[in-house]
Amino acid sequence: MATGLAINRCSISVCRTADVLLNRPTVSVVRNLKFNRRLIGNCSIASAVPYIVAEDEKYGNKQVISLTPRLYDYILSNVREPEILKQLREETAKMRGSQMQVSPDQAQLLAMLVQILGAERCIEVGVYTGYSSLAVALALPESGRLVACERDSNSLEVAQRYYELAGVSHKVIVKHGLAAESLKSLIENGEGSSYDFAFVDADKRMYQDYFELLLQLVRVGGVIVMDNVLWHGRVADPMVNDAKTISIRNFNKKLMNDERVSISMVPIGDGMTICRKR
């Protein structure tokens, strides 16, 4: 299948049909094009690749949308973000480690999953400043409860302040300390199979441990969402083999073969895998 170039004096746009010009397969063209706008002489190359295709032609050359900065801005403009979440996001953006905060579109998806499940009992592993946990707490009914596990006291102070401001602090049970120990204590207290939903965005090297503990706590039909499963694309790069990347890569591989859950890996944010306990 070919890719083509439509060329005029001041722009180069990429369209289907013309590796005749580039002598490259479509996916190679897509991989090597920059999405950021740049200038060459008096002409500009703008982000103009609306989709990518899999290298394996057995997938039928299915066109998959590829995010550009402009398209992502459009997605964000279509997120229904409550004002209190916006305030928290903007405050967090000024803090060290702000990239750890989930994106508004991720938080909206988490809240919707909670609503679809009719969840009343939830767990979050890795709270940071509370953006995702606040989104979940806002989606819970008044009788709902969220166990929020976080080891960093400074970021937890911000989260608790916003729980108060949003009027949901009565829904959130904060567990300050190591998440694995908090989850084990819930199991020891006889709370196994009593939770509807869990979200994990914490130490990547502990993902398998968190997952195993949460499988004991979440009911059949309940959902566990694992964040950062694409890890900035590093999981697909065989040349990257640091401890966190290897851990996530191994976790993804094990999860693929885990018959205890149904799974769907979603390319939102840094990648999320939605797991439904069978």
Q: Give the model's pLDDT for residue 276.
A: 98
- This prediction has a pTM of 0.84
SS3 105: helix
Q: Which of 258, 89, 114, 81 is CA-nearest to residue 199?
A: 114
Amino acid symbol at 39: L
Residue 26: both structure tokens together: 């479509």
Q: Give the model's pLDDT for residue 49.
A: 57
Q: Give the model's pLDDT for residue 23.
A: 36
| Contacts of residue 50, Cβ cutoff 8 Å, sequence gap at least 6 | 65, 66
CB 11 within 8 A of CB 44: yes
Q: Taken in order 232, 222, 215, 178, is the CA torsion positive or negative?
A: positive
The length of the chain in residues reads 278
Q: Give the model's pLDDT for residue 51.
A: 85
- Number of Cβ within 10 Å of residue 16's Cβ equals 14
Show me where the domains of the chain are located. 60-277
Which residues, listed in sequence order, are joined to residue 43 by a DSSP beta bridge?
40
Q: Give the model's pLDDT for residue 36.
A: 39
Q: Give the model's pLDDT for residue 50.
A: 75
Weakly modelled stretches of the chain, pLDDT under 50: 1-47
Q: Give the model's pLDDT for residue 46.
A: 42
Give the integer Cα–Cα distance in Å for 247 and 108.
27
Give the integer Cα–Cα distance in Å for 80 and 236.
32
Architecture category of domain 60-277 in CATH: 3-Layer(aba) Sandwich (3.40)
